[in-house]
Amino acid sequence: MLNKTTFACNECDLLIEIHDIKEGEEATCPRCGHHVLQRKHDSVKRSIAISSAGLVLFFPAIYLPIMAIQAAGMKSSASLIQAISSLWQSDLVFVALSILVFCVIAPFIKLIVALTVNVSLLQNRTHLGWLKPLFKWYHKMDTWEMLEVFMLGILISIIKLKDMAELSFDTGIICFIFFMLSQLFLKLSLDKQLIWQRLHDGK
């Protein structure tokens, strides 16, 4: 017998019983046609690959220099961690902590959780009781991660400083951009509904 689950349409609130659907398929509301459920193609393996790549890029992205500034014969460069340290030493503690949480800790936890949960799904170890609370942390961190805001700050700094000093980009900016993209691609590949269903069924 096919498993079926009841979903509520986000558009018209119609309750719909949906049977298991295959990868790449989607279910729509029969009343309003709104998208209700979609099974993303090869979600588990793609999420493992993307989260692994993000973890590889994590340390270069935060420790390698992002941008160098040369003015009055002096040149200085800074990484994300150095920027946080400088803000802390300048008594901008709240700003330093905000960047640390939103641009370092939250993205790192997201990648670790996504990798752990998807590897467990791949190995059919969804019966483990700690996976559910662990995946809840992914949802919390998903709203806290703001790498794009820091990237926007870098772009604003470039615009403001380009006429005042000579700017050059270091390897860190490339790693940071790809690290940010890994977070975006993870959101696109991760099938949250599939994960919750597998964790609920315990199989």
167: phi then psi, degrees, rounded to nearest 5: -105, 145
Band of the pLDDT at 155, cuts 50, 70, 90?
Answer: low
Band of the pLDDT at 2, cuts 50, 70, 90?
Answer: very low
Percent of the chain residues topping a pLDDT of 70: 70
User: Which one of 23-32, 123-132, 145-154 scores highest in mean pLDDT?
Assistant: 123-132
Inter-CA distances, 100 with 92, 103, 107, 171, Å:
12, 6, 10, 20
Q: Are 66 and 78 in contact (CB under 8 A)?
A: yes
Per DSSP, 73 falls in state T
- Distance, CA of 56 to CA of 200 (rounded, Å): 31
Q: Return mean pLDDT, the chain.
A: 78
Percent of the chain residues topping a pLDDT of 90: 13
Q: pLDDT (tens digit, 9 = 90+) per residue, 167-176?
A: 666 788 888 8
- Distance, CA of 96 to CA of 116 (rounded, Å): 29
The pLDDT score that the predictor gives to residue 190 is: 86
Per DSSP, 51 falls in state H
Lowest mean pLDDT among 18-27, 61-70, 105-114, 140-149: 18-27
For the cut 60, the answer to whether the pLDDT of residue 9 exceeds it is: yes
Lowest mean pLDDT among 2-11, 81-90, 102-111: 2-11
* pTM over cut 0.85: no
Compute CA 73 distance to the chain's CA centroid, rounded to the nearest angstrom: 40
Q: Are 108 and 186 in contact (CB under 8 A)?
A: no
Q: pLDDT (tens digit, 9 = 90+) per residue, 42-98?
A: 888 999 999 999 999 999 988 988 876 666 556 666 788 888 888 888 888 888 898
Instruction: Decide: helix, strand or coil at residue 27.
Output: strand
- Distance, CA of 129 to CA of 16 (rounded, Å): 29
Inter-CA distances, 41 with 26, 105, 108, 149, Å:
11, 29, 25, 30
Q: Which amino acid is at 68?
A: A
Q: Which helix (H) or strand (E) holds 16?
A: strand 15-19
Inter-CA distances, 157 with 53, 54, 77, 180, Å:
28, 25, 13, 18
